[in-house]
Amino acid sequence: MTSTVSRLAIVRLVALAASSVALLAFTLAATATPRTTSATWTADERALLRSLSLSALEKLPADPSNKYADDSAAMLLGGRLFFDTRLSGNGKVSCATCHAPDNGFQDGLPLGKGVGTAGRRTMPIAGTAHSPWQFWDGRADSHWAQALGPLESPAEHGGDRTQYAHVMRAHYKDAYEAVFGALPDLRGLPERAGPVPDTTRSRAWARIVPVRQDEISRVYANIGKAIAAYERKIVFTPARFDRFVEAELAGRQHSVTDAFSDDERAGLRLFIGKANCSTCHNGSLLTDNHFHNTGVPQSTDGAANDSGRTTGVRAVMASEFNCVGKHSDAKRDDCSELRFAVSEGSELVRAFKTPSLRNAVTRPPFMHAGQFASISDVLAHYNRAPTAPAGKTELKRLRLSDSELRQLEAFLNTLVSPVGFPGATASRGATAAP
Amino acid sequence: MRSTYSHYRLTVLIIVTAAISGCMAMMAPPANLDYSRVRTSVNGRYHAAIKPDGDSIPQGKLQKWTLHLETASGSPIDDATVSVDGGMPQHGHGLPTKPLVTRHLGNGDHLVEGMKFNMGGWWVVKFRVNTTAGADSVVFNLKL
């Protein structure tokens, strides 16, 4: 009896093993199709593939406007500030509320939700230190200037710079002073005051003498610089696409971890060819860091008549926290992106920043106000190239078939990888130590 | 006024070229383009040469160029007023930046700052040169 049971168990085990092997073989055949086909790419295509790979990413550029950008103590302070809800009007909102580390540093909502509702979608952070412009409309020209925008926005953190200076003195005095030097004397200053839309606080701000306003604004700028020192360490890690390119260009046999299915391979060909995606989604981060009108429909819930870069460029030119402002550490010659920015013209109307396509498929809803629920909706939009609600779309009709659209979507899924950031301890979900 | 007119003419050129190319847009540039970095102005008044930093023109990075200008008879020009314009004829858009001549370097050389090309393909860069001898334009083709 015992021996019959044992034999039955062995038969079952062998059957299970055989079926597992068969399933694995089928899965490999269906999804991996390992092979070497480097000869099928032209020299130009090989150069383009190399340029899109993360291995071609240049060293993180210095930020001359923030002399603390690569200071490790500033980075540690910035990391604490990033998660601190005391930096908000209601004590409930931190940077991480919308830029959630376990969700690729974004929130998955059509419009950011802080103290109120923002006019646009929360942008992810990974890799953005490589961009000269921040926000969908580029209204900040550095990470630190970007961080300061939401802090005083009534819809986002809802606080003000005097409040934040008090928070720094009460909770971060030693860490702040170790990086930036002595905090100013805040005695006699109101608890809440700043150049914000709220009239009570803006009037209180107006009553502060200019020299003390400057001291508070300096602390405020330094909060941004510390947060920037943290944010610039948030990076993309290599995706299957990067491993595929490495093996493909080396003419190496693909392994299970770097092979592409036929659909993914066809999608890549469309991406760099007929579908024109790599025109704007170029370079290792798959963005040209510029602004384009792609005819995205008006959001029903977001900012009304959002004109994109038209207002963004005016805002960055006028910002007290831009590269040439008094809180910047840069010399004028270091501020060429700002000095030579296109400041007017029809091309700016409803032009929004090209987002990186790395991890894009993990970030629905899509576009600057979450107008599209799925990546297939996005691809259908690019295929159709409709008239823009304002300005002129740069898109031209693609005439891709349904199967080509499916192949493109399959390719975009190969661009997913964990996001690395300081303090991450495990490769879980969308996060990992770099 | 001249600058506005120049911009208008370039815009018309880009639109007409884009219209002619029609569905050709996003495809390979015309086969017979002259990519020389030494060109004569449209009406023959000036010779011009561009010297980008390095041999190749990088994509997505701000660059400084030297623009060398000479009269038709070969004398260096140091008193020119120069404006810069350009774009991608097949895409129908202009330059992503607003480059400027920021310094006269002497011996006919002019420093051009703010040059940038944010995508691959065929670009045109046009220098509108104005001296006491008159105005003329020099157009360069680039392939990135």
Whether A217 and A249 map to the same domain: the answer is: no
Task: Give how far A140 is from chain B: nearest CA, Å.
Answer: 16
Whether A145 and A220 map to the same domain: the answer is: yes
Cβ neighbours for B71, distance < 8 A, ≥ 6 positions apart: B45, B46, B47, B77, B133
The minimal CB distance from B113 to the residues A51, A276, A336 is found for A336
Backbone angles phi, psi at A347, to 5 degrees: -70, -15
Mean pLDDT of A278-282: 97
Q: Are A58 and A288 in contact (CB under 8 A)?
A: no
A207 touches chain B (CB under 8 A): no
What's residue A125's pLDDT?
A: 98
Backbone angles phi, psi at A287, to 5 degrees: -155, 145
Q: Which of A183, A207, A231 is the last residue of a domain?
A: A231
Give the domain range for residue B76: 2-27+34-143
Whether A96 and A183 map to the same domain: the answer is: yes
Which among A340, A349, A396 is the top mutation candidate for probing chain B, defined by the most B β-carbons within 10 Å of its own β-carbon? A340
CATH number of the domain encompassing residue A296? 1.10.760.10
What's residue A39's pLDDT?
A: 56
Backbone angles phi, psi at B129, to 5 degrees: -105, 130
Give the domain range for residue A167: 72-231
Counted domains in chain B:
1
Backbone angles phi, psi at B119, to 5 degrees: -150, 160
Task: Give how far B73 is from chain A: nearest CA, Å.
Answer: 33
A394 touches chain B (CB under 8 A): yes
Whether A76 and A53 map to the same domain: the answer is: no
Whether A185 and A291 map to the same domain: the answer is: no
CA distance A215 to A182: 11
What's residue A399's pLDDT?
A: 97
Mean pLDDT of A18-33: 40
The minimal CB distance from A339 to the residues B114, B118, B120 is found for B114
What's residue A433's pLDDT?
A: 44
Whether A244 and A383 map to the same domain: the answer is: yes
Contact criterion met (CB < 8 Å) for B96 and A290: yes
ipTM score above 0.90: no
Q: Judge whether residue A276 has pLDDT over 90.
A: yes
Q: CA-CA distances (angstroms) from residue A141 to A96, A331, B59, B61?
A: 21, 14, 19, 15
Whether A76 and A223 map to the same domain: the answer is: yes
Counted domains in chain A:
2
What's residue A360's pLDDT?
A: 98
Q: Which residues of A touch B98 (CB under 8 A)?
A: 340-343
Q: Which of A231, A250, A267 is the last residue of a domain?
A: A231
Whether A86 and A210 map to the same domain: the answer is: yes
Q: Which residues of A touch B94 (CB under 8 A)?
A: 342, 345, 347
CB contacts < 8 A, A to B, total 57
Q: For chain A, what is the mean pLDDT? A: 91
Query: Does a structural domain hold residue A331?
Result: no
Query: Does a structural domain hold residue A53?
Result: yes
Q: Are A378 and A224 in contact (CB under 8 A)?
A: no
Report the percentage of chain A scoring pLDDT > 70. Answer: 88
Q: Which residues of B touch A347 (CB under 8 A)?
A: 93-94
What's residue B28's pLDDT?
A: 81
pLDDT band at B27 (very low <50, low <70, confident <90, very high): low
Residue range B48-75, pLDDT digits in tens: 999 998 778 999 999 999 999 999 999 9
Query: Does a structural domain hold residue A67?
Result: no
Whether A300 and A426 map to the same domain: the answer is: yes
pLDDT band at B25 (very low <50, low <70, confident <90, very high): very low
Q: Judge whether residue A290 has pLDDT over 70.
A: yes
CA distance A283 to A52: 5
Q: Judge whether residue A35 has pLDDT over 90.
A: no
CA distance A168 to A225: 14
Q: Which of A175, A202, A231 is the last residue of a domain?
A: A231
CA distance A278 to A291: 15
What's residue B1's pLDDT?
A: 38
pLDDT band at B23 (very low <50, low <70, confident <90, very high): very low
CATH number of the domain encompassing residue B106? 2.60.40.1930
Q: Judge whether residue A91 has pLDDT over 80.
A: yes
Residue range A166-179, pLDDT digits in tens: 999 999 999 999 99
Whether A250 and A206 map to the same domain: the answer is: no
Q: Judge whether residue A315 has pLDDT over 80.
A: yes
CA A196 to chain centre: 26
pTM (2 d.p.): 0.87
Q: Judge whether residue A383 has pLDDT over 60.
A: yes
Contact criterion met (CB < 8 Å) for B59 and A48: no
Mean pLDDT of B80-94: 95
Whether A165 and A279 map to the same domain: the answer is: no
Query: Does a structural domain hold residue A10?
Result: no
Residue range A405-432, pLDDT digits in tens: 999 999 999 999 999 998 765 333 344 4
What's residue A413's pLDDT?
A: 98
A290 touches chain B (CB under 8 A): yes
Q: Judge whether residue A13 has pLDDT over 80.
A: no
CA distance A227 to A78: 4
Looking at per-residue pLDDT, the higher value among A427 and A321 belongs to A321
Whether A272 and A404 map to the same domain: the answer is: yes
Query: Does a structural domain hold residue A277?
Result: yes
Mean pLDDT of B84-90: 95
pLDDT band at A332 (very low <50, low <70, confident <90, very high): very high
Report the percentage of chain B scoring pLDDT > 70. Answer: 81
Looking at per-residue pLDDT, the higher value among B13 and B78 belongs to B78
